[in-house]
Structure 1
Amino acid sequence: MDITGIEREMSDLDAMYRPIAKNPVDLDDLRAFENLGAAIKVKLDRLGVSERAEAVLHAIVQSYAGGDQTVREAIRRLFDRYTSFRWAAYLPRQWHTAEEFRDRLIVMSAHDQGADTRDEILALQDLCNRAAEYGIDVDSILDEVAAMSSDVDRYGMGSMQSVFLHYGRHRP
């Protein structure tokens, strides 16, 4: 899938995800708030597009890793444009290999800090901890993906490249 096909798919999926992603949360309803994650998962599952979204993410990983800086910047802009897709689409929750770890870091690199660098740091630390538990050489993959990542400090907390190099290595 080329960049045009990736954008077409992201746009379509973004429109499907948007009503769920942008639905306000009633913070006064403690019961609903406590079950929010499960309720969102049910709504996303009902859409029946998780395999389609996963295929798009795999195409993104392939294009991002194999592309040059121009391709990577274009993919980052797509994630900035299609925020509901960025929020809802994910690779399978279960993973165990270095390649699967790398794929997740590439998607994170393409998110380019998403909406909040702090969330990305916590997700990165969790991924790196899991990878280390699986015996994966975390540092070499961090170096590889950091080299693909943006060096622009979008939110005053460092660039995605520096986030990978610092927070990926300094895990709690």
Structure 2
Amino acid sequence: MDSDVRALVAEVDRRLKDEGQQPVDLSDPDWMNKLRAWQPPADGVAALSALLDAYRSGSDQTRAEVRDLLRAHPSFRNRIHLPRDWTTEAEFRRRLLAVSAADQGNDARDVMLSLRDLVARAAALGIDPAPALRDAAALSSDVDHYGMGSMRQLLAGCLPAGNQGNSAS
């Protein structure tokens, strides 16, 4: 994985950590709107894109490096994200890659809820989630960080009944 991307992730993580330690002025009547309007920095989004490309096309070792990098930089992992709106299978797959790379983040329960929402949205858009879930599971870690199953198992667990036998486990 590119050392420039590693350095950029560390730098963005530091900036986000510093920003996150600033107090929110709750006396400002517009504080919630300001919070909702926050956008991730462009260099962070570019770094995430590079990480996801490496994760998708790289070796098992590269994927482990991406997961380790995101685990070591939680402010980056938690605050740099793909655009909220999406409508295509490619965008669904990209989101599954991001979830897989974050490798359960801070809490597997949050990941399970996010996956449930992603799969429901894909189905509502007419996208068959099973192939993308199987592909993402095949790239995912088999380490159970929180006693709720590995990322691979969590993704495979989202497969519709009758499709689970084809998942990577």
TM-score by length of 1: 0.83
* Count, aligned residues: 160
Structure 1 stretch displaced more, 161-170 or 137-146: 161-170
Aligned with 1:96: secondary structure?
coil
- One-letter amino acid matched to 1:77: D
- One-letter amino acid matched to 2:35: I
Equivalent positions of 1:68-107 (< 5 A) are: 68-107=59-98
Question: Which of the pair is proportionally richer in helix?
Answer: 1
How far apart, CA to CA, are the structure 2 residues paired with 1:64 and 1:146? 12
Post-superposition shift, 1:60? 1.1
Post-superposition shift, 1:21? 3.5
CA deviation string 1:13-56 (max 9, x = no partner): 0011002435578xxx8x89xx87644344x44xxx53222211
How far apart, CA to CA, are the structure 2 residues paired with 1:168 and 1:21? 36
Q: Structure 1 residue 109 and structure 2 residue 100: aligned?
A: yes
Aligned twin of 1:4 = 3
TM-score by length of 2: 0.84
Query: How has the CA–CA distance of structure 1 residues 73 and 136 changed in structure 2, closer, same or farther, with 3 Å as cutoff?
Result: same
How far apart, CA to CA, are the structure 2 residues paired with 1:114 and 1:162? 15
Q: Structure 1 residue 125 and structure 2 residue 120: aligned?
A: no
Task: Tell me which of 58, 62, 85 is aligned to 1:67.
Answer: 58
Contact 2:48 2:81 in 1 (8 A): yes
Structure 1 stretch displaced more, 12-21 or 63-72: 12-21
How far apart, CA to CA, are the structure 2 residues paired with 1:100 and 1:73? 22
Contact 2:133 2:158 in 1 (8 A): no
Aligned twin of 2:17 = 18
Structure 1 stretches of 4+ moved >3 Å: 20-25, 35-42, 167-170
- Structure 1 stretches lacking a partner, 5+ long: none
Equivalent positions of 1:26-37 (< 5 A) are: none
Contact 1:21 1:87 in 2 (8 A): no
Post-superposition shift, 1:90? 0.5
CA RMSD, Structure 1 to Structure 2 (Å): 2.4
Contact 1:146 1:161 in 2 (8 A): yes
Query: How has the CA–CA distance of structure 1 residues 169 and 54 changed in structure 2, closer, same or farther, with 3 Å as cutoff?
Result: farther
Aligned twin of 1:40 = 35
Contact 1:125 1:168 in 2 (8 A): no
- Structure 2 stretches lacking a partner, 5+ long: 162-169
